Amino acid sequence: MSTEPSTQAIEWERKPNGIQANMPAYAEAAKDFDWKTVEAEFDWSKTGKVNIVHETIDRHADSARGDAVALHYYHPEGRQEDYTFKDLKKLSSQFAAVLKNAGVSKGDRIAVFLPRMPELYIAILGIHRVGAIPVPLFEAFMEQAVFDRLENSQSNVCVTTPTLKPRVPQDKLPDLKQLILVESNGELAANEISYEESMKAAPEWVEPEWLTVDDGLVIHYTSGSTGRSKGVLHRQYAMVGHYQTSKWSLNLSQDDIYWCTADPGWVTGTSYGLYGPWTLGVTSLVVGGRFDSDVWFSMIEKYKVTMWYSAPTAYRMLMAAGDAIPAKYDLSSLKHICSVGEPLNPEALKWVKKVTGLAPHETWWMTETGMHIICNYKGEDFAIGATGKAFPGTYASVVDDAGKELPPGQIGNLVVKPGWPAMMQAIWRNKPKYDEYFKIPGWYASGDSAIRDEDGVIWFQGRADDVIKTAGERVGPFVVESALVEHPAVAEAGVIGKPDAVRGHIIKAYVALMPGYEPTDALKQEIAKHVKTHMAAHAAPREIDFVEKVPKTRSGKIMRRVLRAWDSGEDAGDTSTMED
């Protein structure tokens, strides 16, 4: 038996908003789709010379698009700059020369530990130009998180700032030979290079190191929702998936102003903050500094953003700030919105629709998949809570532990047929871990659980390990969490299964309250009754703990292992990627 996603399955009314969908009707797009036709969009399909920097920057710089803005940069403290494709060709060449002078060569891993600033993007592009592999690190990482990633990747150079440098434990990293310091304004140690000074002396053109489609592209470390981070290596061929998903699921074209709010320290910030949009020659916006709801909405107005890609965490934070802030700004330029991370709960989705006129479209994928796999698409109706359908050219399904596809309505393992363009190439220095992803015969096992309905639409239910077996029923935590947040007192909710001698497990909820509500036993009973009424008796939480915040990764995924640790009193493990 299963718990149907009944509280979410509300048809979403979508109205025309002045933009044509790039993707044909889904059935037409998916029929006989062949990735070989996408390869033809790249220069390397004709020349045999492969390098992502050529396909994202150089070919646009050398075309009529050369003087178009590739990057708008804005920082609330005053830095506002625009960079054309020609500018980025020149600057990435100069940084490539800096790297070559530092002894960097093809295949080296180079850590980039910078705030969101133009130099971050220039550094990544320059690393690609010399054929090395960037290891982007999120600026909020503290020393242990930085050590774990640099030690595992064996990075021999780290690009950082004097402010972040103390978090790089150089004495513990024998492979790390040099630091390149951005905004260095003092004396340099023997192993330090000034970014600004070295760029001044660098040539304005460096030819890319020509690679194969199977050479390394980037190493990203997983968000840590299931334990210690693992280094996911992607190959150059991933650009084929980045290109087509940016065109069809993000619905991007060259007349768009696109804002991906993700930091390149996360896979969204490279796959869809850099590679995807720039293979299409799209203008991107990058905003520095800390989150500020006023600043965010003002950015849409100032730059006339047409396509906005962000995470549930951000949408929830914007919603918490209230309706008055978005009401101050002209958001009419927006034509499409997408969401990435933990699925949006219905209330947040409805709120975004209310203030922008557009419903965020889900995109399900992972660091390991490298690209969108299951989405709701522009031009197609979708239901609240639905994850969507597999991207054309991929095949996703719901199976049992033996790999047999399950009938509609049953919870099972969310899996994908291997072979899509951006599938990870390896887990860096950990083949046994890589092999675990393919333990279900014939499938890539995502570790997530899902339900597939009669129409082939997939409904995410949570991590497979998080599915709760209670009183003979299987309950996905996400549907319970969605029901919880529909109660007016509940701002956020996280759900786990707690061992129980009689029922196997009971459902336990951690709830953060909306302002104005007091944590009382009476409110616990009221919330539990709400779930029982809206779902089923077995789905109602038997225990509720009130908390200030529900722990999540910065991509919006609820860290249920942390909730289980709280419940058992055990150590929560690596929390370096937890949302502030």
Q: List the 543-546 sheet strands across, edge first.
A: 490-500, 504-513, 543-546
Q: pLDDT value at position 246? A: 98
- Measured CA to CA, the distance from residue 384 to residue 49 in angstroms comes to 44
332 inside domain: no
Burial 12-49 (b: 16+ CB within 10 A, else e): bebeeeebeebbeebeebbeeeebeebbeebebeeeee
The tokens for 450 are 């899902």
- Geometric angle at alpha carbon 416, from 410 and 417, rounded to 5°: 125
134-138, 479-483, 557-561, range with greatest mean pLDDT = 134-138
246 inside domain: no
Q: Could you tell me how many residues make up the chain?
A: 580
**CATH number of the domain bearing residue 509:** 3.30.300.30
Three-class SS state of 234: strand
514 inside domain: yes
Q: pLDDT value at position 474? A: 67
Residue by residue, DSSP assigns 318-356 as HHHT-SHHHHTS--TT--EEEEESSPPPHHHHHHHHHHH
Q: pLDDT value at position 536? A: 64
Return the higher-pLDDT residue of 421 and 11.
Answer: 421
pLDDT of 92-118, one tens digit each? 999 999 999 999 999 999 999 999 999
Q: pLDDT value at position 416? A: 98
Mean local confidence (pLDDT), 48-55: 98
pTM: 0.85
Q: pLDDT value at position 538? A: 67
What is the β-pairing status of strands 283-287 and 69-74?
parallel
Return the higher-pLDDT residue of 16 and 186.
Answer: 186
Q: pLDDT value at position 483? A: 83
The tokens for 337 are 């919105």
Among 11-15, 265-269, 469-473, the minimum mean pLDDT is found in: 11-15
Three-class SS state of 316: helix
Chain centre distance of CA 123: 20
479 inside domain: yes
Mean local confidence (pLDDT), 151-162: 98
Q: pLDDT value at position 575? A: 66
139-148, 276-285, 335-344, 381-390, range with greatest mean pLDDT = 276-285
Of the pLDDT bands very low, low, confident and very high (cuts 50, 70, 90), residue 202 is very high
Q: Quick one: what percent of the chain has pLDDT higher than 70?
A: 93
Q: Which of 67, 94, 96 is nearest to 82 (CA)?
A: 67
Residue located via tokens 């530990």: 113
Return the higher-pLDDT residue of 529 and 2.
Answer: 529
Q: pLDDT value at position 417? A: 98
Do residues 275 and 52 lie in contact, with contact meaning Cβ atoms separated by under 8 Å?
A: yes
58 inside domain: no
> Given CA atoms 45, 50, 53, 54 in this order, what sign does their dihedral have?
negative
Q: pLDDT value at position 512? A: 95
Counted domains in the chain: 1
Q: Which helix (H) or strand (E) holds 199?
A: helix 195-200
Of the pLDDT bands very low, low, confident and very high (cuts 50, 70, 90), residue 51 is very high
Angle between helix 312-320 and 346-356 (nearest 10): 70
Of the pLDDT bands very low, low, confident and very high (cuts 50, 70, 90), residue 367 is very high
pLDDT of 560-580, one tens digit each? 889 999 998 887 766 666 665
> Given CA atoms 444, 450, 453, 455 in this order, what sign does their dihedral have?
negative
CB-CB neighbours of 103 under 10 Å: 11
Do residues 550 and 562 lie in contact, with contact meaning Cβ atoms separated by under 8 Å?
A: no
Among 174-178, 290-294, 477-481, 573-577, the minimum mean pLDDT is found in: 573-577
Q: E strands within 201-295?
A: 216-221, 231-235, 257-260, 283-287
Q: Is the pLDDT of residue 227 over 90?
A: no
240 inside domain: no
pLDDT of 62-87, one tens digit each? 999 999 999 999 999 999 999 999 99
Mean local confidence (pLDDT), 539-558: 87
Q: pLDDT value at position 285? A: 98
Residue located via tokens 């989705």: 349
Please list, in sequence order, all residues whose beta carbon lies within 8 angstroms of the beta carbon of residue 47, skipping any fewer than 6 positions away.
none
Angle between helix 312-320 and 293-303 (nearest 10): 110
Please list, in sequence order, all residues whose beta carbon lies within 8 angstroms of the beta carbon of residue 440, skipping any fewer than 6 positions away.
399, 401, 402, 403, 413, 415
Mean local confidence (pLDDT), 179-187: 93
User: For the chain, what is the mean pLDDT?
Assistant: 91
- Geometric angle at alpha carbon 136, from 130 and 137, rounded to 5°: 150
pLDDT of 448-483, one tens digit each? 999 999 999 999 988 877 778 776 666 778 778 888
- Geometric angle at alpha carbon 131, from 428 and 288, rounded to 5°: 80
Q: In DSSP terms, which residues pair with 459 in a beta bridge?
A: 451
Chain centre distance of CA 186: 36
551 inside domain: yes
Q: Which domain holds residue 558?
A: 467-568
358 inside domain: no
